[in-house]
Amino acid sequence: MDMPSLIAVGVFVLLAAYILYRTHSRIVVTGNEAEQALASVDVQLRKRHDLIPQVVATARKFMSHEAALLERLTELRAKAAASYDKTKAGEVAAHLEAERALQSEFRQLFSLAEGYPELKSDESMTRVQDTLEEVEGNIAAARRYYNASVMQHRNVIQTFPGNIIAPQMGAVPLPYFETEENTRGVVDVARHFG
């Protein structure tokens, strides 16, 4: 083989190695960013979880006929607060589904609370509704950041050359944190209790 051919092969090998290295690094970085974003979501969700016992205790005083809903809400809180492996897409998906179910039950509680004027005017419920409104806004912001991070990670692992390297690394797409169509946006707690 002549010298120009050896140089061309050497340049090609170095270029291929550089592309593999950059792609591998990009997969790792975007995966870590998505995990960090998920941790931020979890921090906000824990704040909502911490409010649930106070809401349930206050609601129990006035909503004795809704005991089954309050019990379900408590059970879903425990399920949603359970630990999970943020690196496993299946466990992340199950966790996010538990959060969606909890959010749905929480919204049902607020809808039913409209029929209990004493509950709407309770001072402790008024305080918790203000806190909850802020927490829901923070959850929405954290969810947007997480979903943007997941999209970036998916783009890297599902396009060339990432789609060739990602399976070798065990990198899989993380699920988006989606809400039901009718629950998108910040909860307007004041509308339910105010």
CATH assignment at residue 51: 1.20.1440.20
Single pTM value for the model: 0.84
Can you tell me the mean pLDDT for 98-105? 94
Q: What is the pLDDT of residue 188?
A: 59
Contact 109, 55 (CB under 8 A): yes
Q: What is the pLDDT of residue 183?
A: 46
The token pair that represents 87 in the structure block: 């690196």
Q: How far apart are CA 138 and CA 148, in angstroms?
A: 15
Can you tell me the mean pLDDT for 43-63? 92
Q: How far apart are CA 132 and CA 138, in angstroms?
A: 10
Domain membership of residue 154 as a residue range: 3-193
Task: Find how far residue 39's CA is from the centre of its chain.
Answer: 8
Residues 61-89: pLDDT tens digits? 888 888 999 999 999 999 999 999 999 99
The CA R_g of the chain, rounded to the nearest whole Å, is 24
Which amino acid is located at 29 in the chain?
V
Tally of structural domains, the chain? 1
Q: Is the pLDDT of residue 126 over 90?
A: no
Q: Is the pLDDT of residue 172 over 90?
A: yes
Task: Find how far residue 27's CA is from the centre of its chain.
Answer: 20
